Structure 1
Protein backbone atom coordinates (compact mmCIF):
# COMPACT_ATOMS: atom_id res chain seq x y z
CA UNK A 1 0.00 0.00 0.00
CA UNK A 2 1.38 3.37 -1.01
CA UNK A 3 2.15 5.93 1.69
CA UNK A 4 -0.10 8.26 -0.30
CA UNK A 5 -3.54 6.75 0.27
CA UNK A 6 -6.81 8.18 -0.98
CA UNK A 7 -10.30 7.69 0.42
CA UNK A 8 -11.26 4.88 -1.96
CA UNK A 9 -8.04 2.95 -1.38
CA UNK A 10 -8.42 3.33 2.38
CA UNK A 11 -11.95 1.96 2.23
CA UNK A 12 -10.81 -1.11 0.29
CA UNK A 13 -7.85 -1.60 2.63
CA UNK A 14 -10.18 -1.52 5.65
CA UNK A 15 -12.39 -4.22 4.12
CA UNK A 16 -9.35 -6.48 3.74
CA UNK A 17 -8.66 -6.53 7.48
CA UNK A 18 -10.73 -9.63 8.20
CA UNK A 19 -9.94 -12.96 9.80
CA UNK A 20 -9.05 -15.80 7.45
CA UNK A 21 -9.36 -18.87 9.68
CA UNK A 22 -8.32 -21.22 6.87
CA UNK A 23 -4.83 -19.68 7.00
CA UNK A 24 -4.53 -19.56 10.79
CA UNK A 25 -3.39 -22.30 13.18
CA UNK A 26 -6.38 -21.93 15.50
CA UNK A 27 -4.62 -19.23 17.51
CA UNK A 28 -7.78 -17.79 19.06
CA UNK A 29 -8.61 -21.35 20.21
CA UNK A 30 -5.22 -21.85 21.85
CA UNK A 31 -3.34 -18.66 22.70
CA UNK A 32 -6.10 -16.90 24.64
CA UNK A 33 -7.35 -17.46 28.18
CA UNK A 34 -11.08 -18.03 28.58
CA UNK A 35 -13.19 -18.16 31.72
CA UNK A 36 -16.37 -20.19 32.14
CA UNK A 37 -19.27 -17.74 31.91
CA UNK A 38 -22.36 -16.95 29.87
CA UNK A 39 -19.96 -16.59 26.92
CA UNK A 40 -17.90 -19.75 27.40
CA UNK A 41 -18.88 -23.19 28.66
CA UNK A 42 -15.41 -24.03 30.00
CA UNK A 43 -12.30 -22.63 31.64
CA UNK A 44 -9.22 -22.75 29.43
CA UNK A 45 -5.77 -21.38 30.26
CA UNK A 46 -3.78 -19.41 27.70
CA UNK A 47 -1.64 -21.71 25.60
CA UNK A 48 -3.89 -24.74 25.94
CA UNK A 49 -5.90 -25.87 22.89
CA UNK A 50 -9.66 -25.81 23.21
CA UNK A 51 -10.97 -29.41 23.38
CA UNK A 52 -13.13 -28.61 20.34
CA UNK A 53 -10.09 -27.81 18.16
CA UNK A 54 -9.43 -30.53 15.59
CA UNK A 55 -6.12 -31.65 14.08
CA UNK A 56 -6.80 -29.49 10.99
CA UNK A 57 -7.21 -26.43 13.26
CA UNK A 58 -10.96 -26.31 12.60
CA UNK A 59 -13.65 -26.25 15.29
CA UNK A 60 -15.66 -29.45 15.50
CA UNK A 61 -18.73 -27.60 16.85
CA UNK A 62 -18.41 -24.46 14.70
CA UNK A 63 -22.04 -24.56 13.53
CA UNK A 64 -23.29 -25.16 17.08
CA UNK A 65 -21.13 -22.81 19.12
CA UNK A 66 -23.87 -20.60 20.52
CA UNK A 67 -26.13 -23.53 21.37
CA UNK A 68 -23.31 -25.31 23.19
CA UNK A 69 -22.39 -22.34 25.38
CA UNK A 70 -19.58 -20.82 23.31
CA UNK A 71 -21.22 -17.53 22.34
CA UNK A 72 -17.93 -15.73 22.93
CA UNK A 73 -16.31 -17.63 20.07
CA UNK A 74 -18.89 -16.23 17.64
CA UNK A 75 -18.13 -12.71 18.85
CA UNK A 76 -14.33 -12.75 18.65
CA UNK A 77 -12.52 -11.20 15.68
CA UNK A 78 -8.77 -10.73 15.20
CA UNK A 79 -8.84 -8.28 12.24
CA UNK A 80 -6.63 -10.74 10.33
CA UNK A 81 -3.85 -10.96 12.93
CA UNK A 82 -4.17 -14.75 13.06
CA UNK A 83 -3.13 -15.39 9.49
CA UNK A 84 -0.37 -12.76 9.76
CA UNK A 85 1.21 -14.54 12.73
CA UNK A 86 0.68 -18.00 11.26
CA UNK A 87 1.79 -17.41 7.69
CA UNK A 88 4.16 -14.41 7.87
CA UNK A 89 5.70 -14.12 11.34
CA UNK A 90 6.20 -17.89 11.62
CA UNK A 91 6.42 -18.64 7.89
CA UNK A 92 3.65 -21.23 7.93
CA UNK A 93 5.18 -23.30 10.73
CA UNK A 94 2.48 -24.34 13.19
CA UNK A 95 2.88 -24.64 16.96
CA UNK A 96 2.30 -28.36 17.31
CA UNK A 97 5.38 -30.42 18.15
CA UNK A 98 7.58 -27.45 19.04
CA UNK A 99 7.19 -26.02 22.53
CA UNK A 100 9.42 -23.01 21.89
CA UNK A 101 7.56 -22.09 18.72
CA UNK A 102 4.23 -22.52 20.51
CA UNK A 103 5.20 -20.25 23.39
CA UNK A 104 6.43 -17.51 21.07
CA UNK A 105 3.44 -17.76 18.76
CA UNK A 106 0.94 -17.61 21.62
CA UNK A 107 2.77 -14.61 23.09
CA UNK A 108 2.93 -12.75 19.78
CA UNK A 109 -0.72 -13.29 18.79
CA UNK A 110 -2.27 -10.86 21.35
CA UNK A 111 0.33 -8.25 20.38
CA UNK A 112 -0.49 -8.65 16.70
CA UNK A 113 -4.23 -8.33 17.40
CA UNK A 114 -3.63 -4.92 18.98
CA UNK A 115 -1.41 -3.80 16.11
CA UNK A 116 -4.07 -4.85 13.61
CA UNK A 117 -6.76 -3.08 15.61
CA UNK A 118 -4.75 0.14 15.48
CA UNK A 119 -4.10 -0.44 11.78
CA UNK A 120 -7.84 -0.80 11.15
CA UNK A 121 -8.62 2.42 13.03
CA UNK A 122 -5.90 4.41 11.24
CA UNK A 123 -7.00 3.15 7.84
CA UNK A 124 -10.58 4.10 8.62
CA UNK A 125 -9.49 7.57 9.71
CA UNK A 126 -7.71 7.95 6.37
CA UNK A 127 -10.94 7.13 4.56
CA UNK A 128 -12.46 10.38 5.85
CA UNK A 129 -11.95 13.88 4.38
CA UNK A 130 -9.63 15.24 7.07
CA UNK A 131 -7.31 18.29 6.99
CA UNK A 132 -4.04 17.81 5.11
CA UNK A 133 -1.84 17.98 8.23
CA UNK A 134 -3.92 15.33 9.98
CA UNK A 135 -3.87 13.16 6.86
CA UNK A 136 -0.05 13.35 6.81
CA UNK A 137 0.20 12.35 10.47
CA UNK A 138 -2.20 9.43 9.97
CA UNK A 139 -0.28 8.29 6.90
CA UNK A 140 2.93 8.30 8.94
CA UNK A 141 1.31 6.14 11.62
CA UNK A 142 0.03 3.78 8.94
CA UNK A 143 3.55 3.34 7.60
CA UNK A 144 4.88 2.71 11.11
CA UNK A 145 2.24 0.07 11.82
CA UNK A 146 2.84 -1.65 8.50
CA UNK A 147 6.50 -1.94 9.46
CA UNK A 148 5.72 -3.20 12.95
CA UNK A 149 3.50 -6.08 11.83
CA UNK A 150 6.44 -7.35 9.73
CA UNK A 151 8.77 -7.67 12.74
CA UNK A 152 10.03 -11.05 13.88
CA UNK A 153 8.62 -12.73 16.97
CA UNK A 154 11.29 -11.50 19.39
CA UNK A 155 10.89 -7.86 18.37
CA UNK A 156 7.10 -8.10 18.44
CA UNK A 157 7.24 -9.40 22.01
CA UNK A 158 9.32 -6.41 23.09
CA UNK A 159 6.91 -3.75 21.79
CA UNK A 160 5.35 -1.28 24.22
CA UNK A 161 1.76 -1.31 22.97
CA UNK A 162 0.57 1.39 25.35
CA UNK A 163 3.26 3.77 24.12
CA UNK A 164 2.34 3.01 20.51
CA UNK A 165 -1.34 3.67 21.18
CA UNK A 166 -0.90 7.16 22.62
CA UNK A 167 -0.14 9.17 19.44
CA UNK A 168 -2.62 7.08 17.45
CA UNK A 169 -5.41 7.66 19.96
CA UNK A 170 -4.77 11.40 19.76
CA UNK A 171 -5.04 11.35 15.95
CA UNK A 172 -8.21 9.24 16.04
CA UNK A 173 -9.76 11.68 18.49
CA UNK A 174 -8.89 14.62 16.23
CA UNK A 175 -10.39 12.77 13.27
CA UNK A 176 -13.58 12.07 15.18
CA UNK A 177 -13.97 15.65 16.39
CA UNK A 178 -13.40 17.01 12.87
CA UNK A 179 -15.83 14.68 11.09
CA UNK A 180 -18.57 14.86 13.70
CA UNK A 181 -18.17 18.63 13.95
CA UNK A 182 -18.53 18.99 10.18
CA UNK A 183 -21.83 17.13 10.39
CA UNK A 184 -23.29 18.99 13.36
CA UNK A 185 -22.27 22.35 11.89
CA UNK A 186 -24.19 21.53 8.72
CA UNK A 187 -27.38 20.78 10.66
CA UNK A 188 -29.06 23.92 12.07
CA UNK A 189 -30.17 23.36 15.64
CA UNK A 190 -28.23 20.11 15.99
CA UNK A 191 -26.37 20.13 19.29
CA UNK A 192 -23.26 18.13 20.00
CA UNK A 193 -23.95 14.91 21.89
CA UNK A 194 -21.15 13.91 24.26
CA UNK A 195 -21.72 10.52 25.87
CA UNK A 196 -18.08 9.53 26.22
CA UNK A 197 -17.81 6.85 28.91
CA UNK A 198 -21.54 7.11 29.67
CA UNK A 199 -23.46 4.38 31.47
CA UNK A 200 -26.30 3.51 29.12
CA UNK A 201 -26.68 -0.07 30.32
CA UNK A 202 -30.24 -1.12 29.52
CA UNK A 203 -31.18 2.41 28.46
CA UNK A 204 -34.17 2.93 26.16
CA UNK A 205 -32.98 5.02 23.20
CA UNK A 206 -35.30 3.45 20.67
CA UNK A 207 -35.69 5.54 17.51
CA UNK A 208 -33.56 8.42 18.80
CA UNK A 209 -31.59 10.74 16.53
CA UNK A 210 -28.05 10.25 17.86
CA UNK A 211 -26.19 11.36 14.76
CA UNK A 212 -22.56 12.42 15.35
CA UNK A 213 -22.70 11.51 19.05
CA UNK A 214 -19.52 10.61 20.93
CA UNK A 215 -19.92 7.19 22.58
CA UNK A 216 -16.21 6.52 23.09
CA UNK A 217 -15.79 3.99 25.89
CA UNK A 218 -19.51 4.09 26.69
CA UNK A 219 -21.37 1.18 28.28
CA UNK A 220 -24.25 0.32 25.97
CA UNK A 221 -24.82 -3.21 27.26
CA UNK A 222 -28.40 -4.32 26.51
CA UNK A 223 -29.34 -0.76 25.49
CA UNK A 224 -32.38 -0.48 23.21
CA UNK A 225 -31.13 1.32 20.11
CA UNK A 226 -33.72 -0.16 17.81
CA UNK A 227 -34.32 2.08 14.75
CA UNK A 228 -31.94 4.70 16.18
CA UNK A 229 -30.04 6.97 13.78
CA UNK A 230 -26.40 6.25 14.62
CA UNK A 231 -24.72 7.73 11.59
CA UNK A 232 -21.32 9.36 12.24
CA UNK A 233 -21.40 8.13 15.85
CA UNK A 234 -17.96 7.46 17.35
CA UNK A 235 -18.08 3.97 18.89
CA UNK A 236 -14.41 3.44 19.61
CA UNK A 237 -14.09 1.27 22.72
CA UNK A 238 -17.86 1.20 23.36
CA UNK A 239 -19.37 -1.95 24.90
CA UNK A 240 -22.27 -3.05 22.70
CA UNK A 241 -22.90 -6.47 24.20
CA UNK A 242 -26.55 -7.43 23.68
CA UNK A 243 -27.43 -3.90 22.54
CA UNK A 244 -30.51 -4.00 20.32
CA UNK A 245 -29.54 -2.57 16.93
CA UNK A 246 -32.49 -3.91 14.97
CA UNK A 247 -33.33 -1.48 12.20
CA UNK A 248 -30.69 1.00 13.38
CA UNK A 249 -28.67 3.01 10.88
CA UNK A 250 -24.95 2.55 11.53
CA UNK A 251 -24.01 2.93 7.86
CA UNK A 252 -21.50 5.69 8.57
CA UNK A 253 -20.73 4.98 12.22
CA UNK A 254 -17.10 5.63 13.13
CA UNK A 255 -14.52 3.18 14.48
CA UNK A 256 -17.00 0.35 14.79
CA UNK A 257 -15.47 -3.14 14.82
CA UNK A 258 -16.73 -6.55 13.77
CA UNK A 259 -16.37 -7.75 17.34
CA UNK A 260 -18.64 -4.99 18.63
CA UNK A 261 -21.26 -5.86 16.01
CA UNK A 262 -20.95 -9.59 16.71
CA UNK A 263 -21.66 -8.95 20.39
CA UNK A 264 -24.81 -6.93 19.68
CA UNK A 265 -28.28 -7.91 18.45
CA UNK A 266 -29.53 -6.86 15.04
CA UNK A 267 -31.42 -7.93 11.95
CA UNK A 268 -31.36 -7.58 8.17
CA UNK A 269 -32.76 -4.07 8.49
CA UNK A 270 -29.69 -2.96 10.48
CA UNK A 271 -27.50 -0.84 8.24
CA UNK A 272 -23.76 -1.40 8.74
CA UNK A 273 -20.59 0.22 7.37
CA UNK A 274 -19.40 -1.42 4.15
CA UNK A 275 -16.39 -3.05 5.81
CA UNK A 276 -18.48 -5.01 8.34
CA UNK A 277 -20.37 -8.26 7.84
CA UNK A 278 -23.80 -9.02 9.25
CA UNK A 279 -23.40 -11.77 11.88
CA UNK A 280 -25.01 -15.09 10.96
CA UNK A 281 -26.66 -15.28 14.39
CA UNK A 282 -28.63 -12.05 13.91
CA UNK A 283 -32.39 -12.19 13.49
CA UNK A 284 -33.81 -12.27 9.96
Structure 2
Protein backbone atom coordinates (compact mmCIF):
# COMPACT_ATOMS: atom_id res chain seq x y z
CA UNK A 1 0.00 0.00 0.00
CA UNK A 2 2.94 2.31 0.60
CA UNK A 3 4.15 2.07 -3.01
CA UNK A 4 0.63 2.80 -4.24
CA UNK A 5 0.39 5.82 -1.94
CA UNK A 6 3.70 7.16 -3.22
CA UNK A 7 2.39 6.93 -6.80
CA UNK A 8 -0.78 8.80 -5.83
CA UNK A 9 1.23 11.62 -4.30
CA UNK A 10 3.76 11.79 -7.12
CA UNK A 11 0.99 12.08 -9.74
CA UNK A 12 -0.78 15.00 -8.06
CA UNK A 13 -0.92 18.38 -9.81
CA UNK A 14 -1.28 20.91 -7.00
CA UNK A 15 0.12 23.97 -8.74
CA UNK A 16 2.86 26.30 -7.47
CA UNK A 17 3.52 25.89 -3.75
CA UNK A 18 1.28 22.83 -3.59
CA UNK A 19 1.79 20.13 -1.00
CA UNK A 20 0.05 16.96 0.17
CA UNK A 21 0.61 14.14 2.62
CA UNK A 22 -1.04 10.86 3.60
CA UNK A 23 -0.77 9.44 7.10
CA UNK A 24 -1.53 5.87 8.21
CA UNK A 25 -2.19 5.14 11.89
CA UNK A 26 -2.87 1.94 13.81
CA UNK A 27 -3.09 1.27 17.54
CA UNK A 28 -3.91 -1.49 20.03
CA UNK A 29 -5.06 -0.58 23.54
CA UNK A 30 -5.79 -2.54 26.71
CA UNK A 31 -7.62 -0.56 29.39
CA UNK A 32 -8.80 -1.50 32.88
CA UNK A 33 -10.70 0.62 35.41
CA UNK A 34 -11.37 -0.50 38.98
CA UNK A 35 -13.34 1.58 41.46
CA UNK A 36 -14.31 0.76 45.05
CA UNK A 37 -13.58 -2.92 44.60
CA UNK A 38 -15.56 -3.29 41.37
CA UNK A 39 -14.07 -3.73 37.91
CA UNK A 40 -15.85 -1.04 35.93
CA UNK A 41 -14.22 -1.73 32.58
CA UNK A 42 -11.81 -4.08 30.87
CA UNK A 43 -11.53 -3.44 27.15
CA UNK A 44 -9.20 -4.33 24.32
CA UNK A 45 -9.50 -2.17 21.20
CA UNK A 46 -7.88 -1.86 17.81
CA UNK A 47 -8.10 1.29 15.76
CA UNK A 48 -6.72 2.25 12.40
CA UNK A 49 -7.17 4.45 9.40
CA UNK A 50 -5.62 7.00 7.09
CA UNK A 51 -5.85 10.74 6.54
CA UNK A 52 -4.86 13.08 3.74
CA UNK A 53 -3.99 16.77 3.71
CA UNK A 54 -3.56 19.03 0.72
CA UNK A 55 -2.26 22.58 0.38
CA UNK A 56 -3.51 24.34 -2.76
CA UNK A 57 -3.00 28.06 -3.44
CA UNK A 58 -2.23 28.63 0.22
CA UNK A 59 -5.28 26.84 1.67
CA UNK A 60 -5.53 23.51 3.47
CA UNK A 61 -7.94 20.64 2.92
CA UNK A 62 -8.29 17.49 5.00
CA UNK A 63 -10.05 14.13 4.75
CA UNK A 64 -9.84 10.76 6.51
CA UNK A 65 -11.04 7.18 6.38
CA UNK A 66 -11.22 4.22 8.75
CA UNK A 67 -11.11 1.77 5.84
CA UNK A 68 -7.73 1.67 4.13
CA UNK A 69 -8.07 0.52 0.52
CA UNK A 70 -6.75 1.82 -2.78
CA UNK A 71 -10.14 3.34 -3.55
CA UNK A 72 -10.47 4.98 -0.13
CA UNK A 73 -6.99 6.51 -0.41
CA UNK A 74 -7.89 7.96 -3.78
CA UNK A 75 -11.14 9.31 -2.35
CA UNK A 76 -9.65 11.06 0.70
CA UNK A 77 -6.86 12.60 -1.35
CA UNK A 78 -9.33 13.85 -3.93
CA UNK A 79 -11.56 15.22 -1.17
CA UNK A 80 -8.67 17.01 0.56
CA UNK A 81 -7.57 18.63 -2.71
CA UNK A 82 -11.14 19.68 -3.49
CA UNK A 83 -11.59 21.24 -0.04
CA UNK A 84 -8.32 23.13 -0.38
CA UNK A 85 -9.31 24.53 -3.78
CA UNK A 86 -12.63 25.77 -2.42
CA UNK A 87 -10.97 27.31 0.64
CA UNK A 88 -8.28 29.02 -1.45
CA UNK A 89 -10.87 31.38 -2.91
CA UNK A 90 -11.58 32.86 0.52
CA UNK A 91 -8.31 32.58 2.40
CA UNK A 92 -6.89 35.85 3.75
CA UNK A 93 -3.43 34.64 4.75
CA UNK A 94 -2.05 32.00 2.35
CA UNK A 95 -0.04 29.24 4.01
CA UNK A 96 3.08 27.63 2.65
CA UNK A 97 5.32 24.63 3.24
CA UNK A 98 9.06 24.51 2.70
CA UNK A 99 9.52 22.53 -0.52
CA UNK A 100 12.82 21.20 0.82
CA UNK A 101 11.14 19.70 3.88
CA UNK A 102 11.61 15.93 3.53
CA UNK A 103 12.73 13.21 5.91
CA UNK A 104 13.17 9.46 5.68
CA UNK A 105 13.47 7.10 8.58
CA UNK A 106 12.08 4.32 10.73
CA UNK A 107 11.82 4.27 14.52
CA UNK A 108 11.09 0.89 16.09
CA UNK A 109 9.68 0.57 19.59
CA UNK A 110 12.27 -1.14 21.75
CA UNK A 111 10.52 -2.37 24.88
CA UNK A 112 12.10 -3.27 28.20
CA UNK A 113 9.20 -5.66 28.87
CA UNK A 114 6.65 -6.37 26.15
CA UNK A 115 3.11 -6.28 27.60
CA UNK A 116 2.23 -9.26 25.40
CA UNK A 117 4.62 -11.34 27.53
CA UNK A 118 2.55 -10.66 30.66
CA UNK A 119 -0.87 -12.26 31.17
CA UNK A 120 -3.97 -10.10 31.46
CA UNK A 121 -4.64 -11.79 34.81
CA UNK A 122 -1.35 -10.45 36.18
CA UNK A 123 -2.14 -6.96 34.91
CA UNK A 124 -5.60 -7.03 36.47
CA UNK A 125 -4.11 -8.14 39.79
CA UNK A 126 -1.72 -5.17 39.81
CA UNK A 127 -4.61 -2.79 39.23
CA UNK A 128 -6.75 -4.56 41.85
CA UNK A 129 -4.00 -4.49 44.47
CA UNK A 130 -3.43 -0.79 43.83
CA UNK A 131 -7.10 0.11 44.27
CA UNK A 132 -7.57 -2.17 47.28
CA UNK A 133 -4.60 -0.73 49.16
CA UNK A 134 -6.02 2.77 48.69
CA UNK A 135 -9.54 1.79 49.73
CA UNK A 136 -8.55 -0.06 52.89
CA UNK A 137 -6.56 2.79 54.46
CA UNK A 138 -9.57 4.38 56.18
CA UNK A 139 -13.36 4.40 56.06
CA UNK A 140 -13.16 8.05 55.07
CA UNK A 141 -11.85 7.03 51.64
CA UNK A 142 -15.05 7.67 49.70
CA UNK A 143 -13.68 6.67 46.31
CA UNK A 144 -10.67 4.55 45.43
CA UNK A 145 -9.73 4.00 41.80
CA UNK A 146 -7.02 2.48 39.66
CA UNK A 147 -6.63 2.64 35.90
CA UNK A 148 -4.25 0.59 33.76
CA UNK A 149 -3.62 1.47 30.13
CA UNK A 150 -1.24 0.12 27.52
CA UNK A 151 -1.24 1.42 23.96
CA UNK A 152 1.09 0.43 21.13
CA UNK A 153 0.81 2.52 17.96
CA UNK A 154 2.36 2.75 14.53
CA UNK A 155 2.30 5.68 12.13
CA UNK A 156 3.51 6.10 8.56
CA UNK A 157 3.75 9.50 6.87
CA UNK A 158 4.41 10.13 3.18
CA UNK A 159 4.31 13.52 1.45
CA UNK A 160 4.86 15.10 -1.95
CA UNK A 161 8.28 16.41 -0.92
CA UNK A 162 9.56 12.86 -0.49
CA UNK A 163 9.06 12.25 3.22
CA UNK A 164 8.75 8.57 4.12
CA UNK A 165 8.71 7.99 7.88
CA UNK A 166 7.39 5.09 9.96
CA UNK A 167 7.36 5.20 13.74
CA UNK A 168 6.26 2.86 16.49
CA UNK A 169 5.39 4.23 19.91
CA UNK A 170 3.94 3.13 23.21
CA UNK A 171 2.18 4.54 26.25
CA UNK A 172 2.06 2.39 29.38
CA UNK A 173 0.51 3.81 32.55
CA UNK A 174 -0.93 2.82 35.92
CA UNK A 175 -2.85 5.50 37.83
CA UNK A 176 -4.28 5.38 41.34
CA UNK A 177 -6.57 7.90 42.97
CA UNK A 178 -8.29 8.55 46.28
CA UNK A 179 -11.12 10.86 47.27
CA UNK A 180 -11.43 11.32 51.03
CA UNK A 181 -14.49 12.83 52.65
CA UNK A 182 -15.37 14.07 56.12
CA UNK A 183 -18.57 16.04 56.47
CA UNK A 184 -18.60 18.64 53.72
CA UNK A 185 -14.83 18.51 53.30
CA UNK A 186 -13.40 16.54 50.38
CA UNK A 187 -9.80 15.97 49.27
CA UNK A 188 -8.30 14.27 46.23
CA UNK A 189 -4.89 12.61 45.76
CA UNK A 190 -3.42 10.65 42.85
CA UNK A 191 -0.20 8.87 41.92
CA UNK A 192 0.97 7.09 38.81
CA UNK A 193 3.80 5.32 37.03
CA UNK A 194 4.26 5.62 33.28
CA UNK A 195 6.66 4.81 30.48
CA UNK A 196 6.93 4.86 26.70
CA UNK A 197 9.17 1.79 26.43
CA UNK A 198 7.24 -1.08 28.00
CA UNK A 199 5.73 -2.17 31.31
CA UNK A 200 8.86 -2.97 33.31
CA UNK A 201 8.31 0.10 35.51
CA UNK A 202 4.72 -0.97 36.18
CA UNK A 203 5.77 -4.51 37.12
CA UNK A 204 8.40 -3.11 39.49
CA UNK A 205 5.96 -0.60 40.97
CA UNK A 206 5.00 -1.55 44.53
CA UNK A 207 1.26 -1.09 44.06
CA UNK A 208 0.33 -1.99 47.63
CA UNK A 209 2.86 0.32 49.27
CA UNK A 210 2.24 3.23 46.90
CA UNK A 211 -1.51 2.78 47.12
CA UNK A 212 -1.38 2.94 50.91
CA UNK A 213 0.55 6.21 50.68
CA UNK A 214 -2.08 7.65 48.33
CA UNK A 215 -4.85 6.78 50.78
CA UNK A 216 -2.93 8.08 53.78
CA UNK A 217 -2.19 11.36 52.02
CA UNK A 218 -5.86 11.82 51.20
CA UNK A 219 -6.76 11.31 54.88
CA UNK A 220 -4.01 13.68 56.08
CA UNK A 221 -5.33 16.43 53.83
CA UNK A 222 -8.67 16.36 55.63
CA UNK A 223 -6.95 18.07 58.57
CA UNK A 224 -4.61 20.26 56.53
CA UNK A 225 -4.53 23.98 57.21
CA UNK A 226 -6.01 26.26 54.60
CA UNK A 227 -3.19 27.85 52.57
CA UNK A 228 -2.70 31.59 52.43
CA UNK A 229 -4.07 33.45 49.43
CA UNK A 230 -2.48 36.24 47.43
CA UNK A 231 0.83 36.69 45.62
CA UNK A 232 3.86 35.00 47.12
CA UNK A 233 7.11 33.27 46.26
CA UNK A 234 6.87 29.50 45.78
CA UNK A 235 9.31 26.64 46.11
CA UNK A 236 7.93 24.03 43.70
CA UNK A 237 8.43 20.29 43.53
CA UNK A 238 10.21 19.31 40.26
CA UNK A 239 7.19 17.31 39.06
CA UNK A 240 4.95 20.32 39.63
CA UNK A 241 7.42 22.59 37.83
CA UNK A 242 7.11 20.34 34.79
CA UNK A 243 3.32 20.51 34.77
CA UNK A 244 3.34 24.25 35.42
CA UNK A 245 5.73 25.17 32.63
CA UNK A 246 4.00 22.76 30.22
CA UNK A 247 0.61 24.39 30.75
CA UNK A 248 1.56 28.02 31.36
CA UNK A 249 4.44 28.35 28.91
CA UNK A 250 4.72 25.32 26.62
CA UNK A 251 1.29 25.74 25.03
CA UNK A 252 2.01 29.44 24.55
CA UNK A 253 5.02 28.46 22.39
CA UNK A 254 2.93 26.47 19.89
CA UNK A 255 3.09 27.92 16.39
CA UNK A 256 -0.66 27.90 15.73
CA UNK A 257 -1.18 30.30 18.62
CA UNK A 258 1.73 32.41 17.43
CA UNK A 259 0.37 32.70 13.87
CA UNK A 260 -3.14 33.65 15.04
CA UNK A 261 -1.69 35.97 17.71
CA UNK A 262 -3.68 34.09 20.33
CA UNK A 263 -0.56 33.46 22.40
CA UNK A 264 0.88 35.97 24.87
CA UNK A 265 4.27 35.17 23.31
CA UNK A 266 3.39 35.96 19.68
CA UNK A 267 5.48 39.16 19.66
CA UNK A 268 8.11 38.18 22.22
CA UNK A 269 10.76 36.45 20.08
CA UNK A 270 14.27 37.46 21.20
CA UNK A 271 12.76 39.41 24.07
CA UNK A 272 13.12 38.88 27.80
CA UNK A 273 10.36 36.67 29.24
CA UNK A 274 12.01 35.68 32.52
CA UNK A 275 14.98 36.20 34.76
CA UNK A 276 18.47 35.50 33.41
CA UNK A 277 18.81 32.35 35.52
CA UNK A 278 15.97 30.60 33.65
CA UNK A 279 16.45 28.52 30.50
CA UNK A 280 13.78 26.18 29.12
CA UNK A 281 14.52 23.19 26.88
CA UNK A 282 12.02 20.76 25.38
CA UNK A 283 13.81 17.52 24.49
CA UNK A 284 11.77 14.60 23.08
CA UNK A 285 14.96 12.64 22.33
CA UNK A 286 15.46 11.62 25.98
CA UNK A 287 14.66 7.87 25.83
CA UNK A 288 11.81 6.15 27.64
CA UNK A 289 9.79 9.11 28.88
CA UNK A 290 6.13 9.85 28.23
CA UNK A 291 7.07 12.74 25.93
CA UNK A 292 9.70 10.78 24.00
CA UNK A 293 9.36 10.48 20.21
CA UNK A 294 11.68 10.05 17.24
CA UNK A 295 9.53 11.76 14.59
CA UNK A 296 6.36 13.78 14.96
CA UNK A 297 3.11 13.29 13.05
CA UNK A 298 4.35 15.35 10.11
CA UNK A 299 7.57 13.39 9.78
CA UNK A 300 9.80 15.97 11.46
CA UNK A 301 12.77 14.40 13.23
CA UNK A 302 12.78 15.13 16.95
CA UNK A 303 15.42 17.45 18.35
CA UNK A 304 15.92 19.50 21.52
CA UNK A 305 14.36 22.96 21.30
CA UNK A 306 15.74 25.72 23.49
CA UNK A 307 12.63 27.81 24.03
CA UNK A 308 14.21 30.18 26.54
CA UNK A 309 17.92 30.96 26.84
CA UNK A 310 18.99 32.91 29.91
CA UNK A 311 15.55 34.47 30.20
CA UNK A 312 15.18 35.33 26.49
CA UNK A 313 12.61 33.65 24.21
CA UNK A 314 14.60 31.95 21.43
CA UNK A 315 12.35 29.37 19.74
CA UNK A 316 8.77 28.21 19.15
CA UNK A 317 7.22 24.77 18.54
CA UNK A 318 6.60 24.19 14.84
CA UNK A 319 7.31 21.57 12.18
CA UNK A 320 6.23 22.20 8.59
| TM-score, structure 2 normalization | 0.21
Higher strand share: 2
Larger Rg: 2
Higher helix share: 1
